[in-house]
Structure 1
Amino acid sequence: MKDIVIPSQKVKREARIFMGCFIFAFLLNIAAIIIYKTPLYEAFTQIGYVIVIAVVLYLITALIRFLVFLIGKLFKKQKY
């Protein structure tokens, strides 16, 4: 059986994308705390929801990136 090798650049890119999703979800949580005037400790007690939102955002971006990849493959000129 062959081993699958994932280059470190791709792993770092995916980690950066997920970190961006997490930071966006965390900032969204902070904005909700400010808008609804709730205690600041909720920024840390609601971290589970932030992680779930970050995963959903990551999956949405992965789906969009996959669709862009497929569209690029469809319209790419084929070499004969």
Structure 2
Amino acid sequence: MKKLAFLSFLGDIPEDNSVYDQETVEFINTLQQAREEWLAAQNFFNSVNDPDLVDYAIYGVEAARRKYMYLIKQAKILGIKINADSLEG
């Protein structure tokens, strides 16, 4: 299950997400979506062949990265534990 794998990425999070309130579940979903957007932007950058699209691709990667890092920071503020080893790669 993709969602359970992502929840384990966040650290000591039980597999049963019924212990979370709706707001926390929505935040986790937003964080997962931001990560997927960042990965998609990186894939787009890696596939760009047109020199006119390079700047656009760079902007997309940087914007997605900053959004994801902002959400990671918010997760820490909210007390959602993040396993640093899972951030590598």
State if a TM-score over 0.5 links the two structures: no
TM-score, with length taken from structure 2: 0.38
TM-score, with length taken from structure 1: 0.41
**Bigger Rg over Cα:** 1
